[in-house]
Each structure stands twice: as structure tokens, then as C-alpha cells.
């Protein structure tokens, strides 16, 4: 959505794309606070209509993984934003690589993460 060429290229080459409900919520929040809500929401819906894209709802398994990650981060004294713990939980649940520019994902053990 930001037009980062390396991310766009990675998305185009991927066999499957997972979009967390938490990420969708963050995107929609941004859309609603911007001036192009209708255009942005249409783009997001079109992206989700792609057969290679799977929308990930929060399940009990996601919640359990969230709890484990949050507890471990607290034990380490390394808190990160709550939504990012949910996003990491989804990535770990699916075995997916998480692509993000947020460096705090590096403190989550077992997370496959690439920073852009």
C-alpha cells in the first residue's frame, strides 16, 4: 500500500499471502483517518478478493499463541505494542514469514521476520 518496491516484489512472488484481521483493522483505522477512505477500502477489498490472499480471523489458537508470546516478552522485560503481538501470533500460527518495518519483532523468539 505504501509502494515499497521490495515489498511489492515479495508480494507478487509469494505463493500465498496471509492478511491478519489485526492488520486489516489497523489499515481501516488509517483509511478512516485519511481523506481517501472509499478508494482505500476498495483497494483492500480487491486485494482480499485475490485467490492467493487468505484473511486470518482470530481463533482460540491465535489467542493461545498471543498469550504465550506476551508472557514471554513480559518475562524478558521487552514489551511491544499489543497489536503487534497479535500479528506475530498469526504469523507463527500459519508458519508464515512476517514482513514489517517494525524492528521490535526481532525480540520474538521463533518468529520468521523480515524487516523492510
Residues paired with residue 54 on neighbouring β-strands, in sequence order:
18
Q: pLDDT tens digits for 10-67?
A: 888 899 999 999 999 999 999 999 999 999 999 999 999 999 999 999 999 999 999 9
The residue ranges of every structural domain in the chain are 5-115
CATH class of the domain whose range is 5-115: alpha beta
Q: Which residues contact 29 (CB under 8 A, 6 or more apart)?
A: none
At 102 the pLDDT is 92
Q: Do strands 17-20 and 53-56 pair parallel, antiparallel, or not at all (unpaired)?
A: parallel
Q: pLDDT tens digits for 41-55?
A: 999 999 999 999 999
Instruction: Let me know: does 86 contact 22? Beta carbons within 8 Å.
Output: yes
Helix or strand run (H / E) with residue 33 = none
Amino acid at each position: 500500500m505504501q509502494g515499497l518496491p521490495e515489498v511489492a516484489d515479495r508480494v507478487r512472488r509469494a505463493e500465498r499471502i496471509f492478511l491478519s484481521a489485526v492488520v486489516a483493522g489497523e489499515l481501516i483505522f488509517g483509511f478512516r483517518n485519511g481523506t481517501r477512505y472509499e478508494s482505500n477500502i476498495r483497494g483492500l477489498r480487491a486485494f482480499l478478493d485475490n485467490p492467493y490472499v487468505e484473511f486470518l480471523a482470530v481463533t482460540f489458537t491465535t489467542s493461545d499463541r498471543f498469550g504465550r508470546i506476551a508472557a514471554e516478552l513480559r518475562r524478558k522485560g521487552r514489551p511491544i505494542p499489543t497489536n503487534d503481538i497479535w500479528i506475530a501470533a498469526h504469523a507463527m500460527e500459519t508458519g508464515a514469514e512476517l514482513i514489517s518495518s517494525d524492528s521490535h519483532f526481532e525480540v520474538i523468539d521463533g518468529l520468521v521476520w523480515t524487516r523492510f
